[in-house]
Structure 1
Amino acid sequence: MTGRAGPFLRLLAVQLVRFGWVQARCCAFAVALFGGMAVSKLLPPLPVPRYDLLLVYGVLLTAAGYLLGWETRREVAVVAACHVLGLAFEIVKVRVGSWSYPEPGFAMIAGVPLYGGFMYAAVGSYVCRSWRLLDLSLTGYRPRATAVLAVALYVNFLSHHWLPDLRLPLGALLLLATARTWVYFTVGELRHRMPLALAFALIGFFLWLAENIATYLGAWTYPSQLDGWEPVSLSKWLSWALLISVTFVICGARRR
């Protein structure tokens, strides 16, 4: 048993290292974005508000990503679409008091700085780069059903402040729609697969972690964090796991 387990464990370790390296490359935009947020917290008071500096930084980062080959032209379009959808999402959420941007800024719409969509843009960049660097392919994928449910979930996250919250039944329908969908990806020379629903759950978890980092760095503030930072509610994991379907559908549509 030991003789058989040794090579398997070595292969597993090598694959995990390879997978981690690819994931780090996929997260390049997000890591650079969070790095800029961290550095901006350390800067002395400047005549230009921090939110506006982050907007300029995000635009330059997007341009650099394209020029350096991080994203193709199609992928930049996906990133831009995610930014716009994210900004619209932020405007509604800030208006109803779900969270706020307490610092001043010039480039703001309805209390939301224009850089506010960059976290969603970073998610779009991650999905696009994962699709390309891991050579993703799908079996059993139902694009129309998944797209309809993704749109319904996006609308529900905006409308549930006035209408019934349907995220749980919509999430159950999404689970059914993707029940037979497998994501195939390549690490090194080996091909692996996992259920699409599991991929959504894993990405949602890491986005929840990223949201904790972002709020700690002052990217935005939840009402419970106004008197001091505290971890973001674990329920946001579910929210991100459902919302990632929107990014996935957009990215998948651009690749068809």
Structure 2
Amino acid sequence: MRMTKPATWPATMLMRRLAVLDQRIARQLRVRGRWAVGMHELVCFGLKQASACLFGGLMVALLLATWRWYPATAPLARYDFLTLAAIAIQLSLLALRLESVEEAKVILLFHVVGTLMELFKTAMGSWSYPEASLLRLGGVPLFSGFMYASIGSYIARAWRLFDFRFSRHPPFGATVSLAAAIYLNFFTHHFLPDARPLLFAALVLLFGRSWVHYRIRRVHRRMPLLLGFVLVALFIWLAENVGTYTKAWLYPAQRHGWSMVPAGKLGAWLLLMIISYVLVAAVHRQGRHGR
């Protein structure tokens, strides 16, 4: 069957022009020595990270903007506006080819996983959503699922933009088992002993020797995969502080005045990172087998 040539989209044309500009800058900086080349690569790294964070960054920006400027008397509740805005962002990213269908699958999958956990956690009083809305399931406004989905979106986009490769990676089946145990513990620790110490030990055992190889421009560099998980969890924790500061959701200790989210939550986000990582890995694995 003859394949038709895909249309050239504005976003694709922009990426091509940026690639040409990058090569031109690289040639000019090469004569200035290794320091200039290193700074150029650092800037490229930052730009790629910003692109990978696009969905999550826009969601955090919306939390801040609606907290500061959204009118209290608006006929559309703030939470409902956030839900509709998240859907619009998702559709725009797909339409502009800034996000692939595979990445959208990850977002949808993690949206479901996150919303199910939200329903349980809010029922248990772990946190709450203080504002009224129509687009919600029980005590959970639908925009909350997109906050979880933005984590999956970041990992999926970073995987593609940095051309991730791995060495000493644990078997896929073992990572699925760990992710399932982590997800189950988010529910069962309310009734049974918390298994997090065992889960952290299993995490180190499985990923302690793993490396992720990432390409900024031409050469693949590497870092411990476990360190990557910790760094992403740190940024998620910072974003969560923005969320609670803007009263998008609140922990029990924050109902009478804002305070920073306890640093202990970093561990929970680290474990949640493993779930999202395994979901993205599953999509990539399915894509390879489908070729």
Q: TM-score range by the shorter chain?
A: over 0.9
For residue 60 of structure 2, the aligned residue among 34, 54, 73 is 34
AA at the equivalent of 1:183: V
Give the equivalent residue in structure 2 for 1:43.
70
Quick check: 2:64–2:242 contact (8 Å CA) kept in 1? no
Classify the secondary structure of the residue corresponding to 1:154: helix
Q: When the two structures are superposed, what TM-score results if normalisation uses the length of structure 2? A: 0.83
Percent of aligned pairs with the same amino acid: 39
The answer on 1:118 being equivalent to 2:164 is no
Give the equivalent residue in structure 1 for 2:97.
69
CA RMSD of aligned residues (A): 1.4
Classify the secondary structure of the residue corresponding to 2:97: coil
The answer on 1:168 being equivalent to 2:168 is no
The answer on 1:230 being equivalent to 2:259 is yes
Classify the secondary structure of the residue corresponding to 1:189: coil
Structure 1 unaligned residues grouped into runs of 5+: 1-5
Q: Aligned-pair distance for 1:8?
A: 4.9
For residue 244 of structure 1, the aligned residue among 238, 262, 273 is 273
How many corresponding residue pairs?
251
Quick check: 2:189–2:195 contact (8 Å CA) kept in 1? yes
The Cα offsets for residues 151-210 of structure 1, whole Å up to 9 and x where unpaired, read as: 101110121011110011111111111122211100122211111111111111111011
The Cα offsets for residues 123-178 of structure 1, whole Å up to 9 and x where unpaired, read as: 01100100000000112222111111011011101210111100111111111111
Structure 2 unaligned residues grouped into runs of 5+: 1-31, 286-291
Classify the secondary structure of the residue corresponding to 2:126: coil
Moved more, 137-146 or 86-95: 137-146
AA at the equivalent of 1:43: Y
The answer on 1:88 being equivalent to 2:102 is no
Q: Aligned-pair distance for 1:12?
A: 3.6
For residue 209 of structure 2, the aligned residue among 168, 180, 199 is 180
Give the equivalent residue in structure 1 for 2:40.
14
Q: Aligned-pair distance for 1:217?
A: 1.6
Q: Kindly report which structure 2 residues correspond to 1:76-225, keeping only aligned pairs within 5 A, or say none.
A: 76-142=104-170, 143-225=172-254
Q: When the two structures are superposed, what TM-score results if normalisation uses the length of structure 1? A: 0.94
Partner Cα distance (1:146, 1:180) in 2: 14
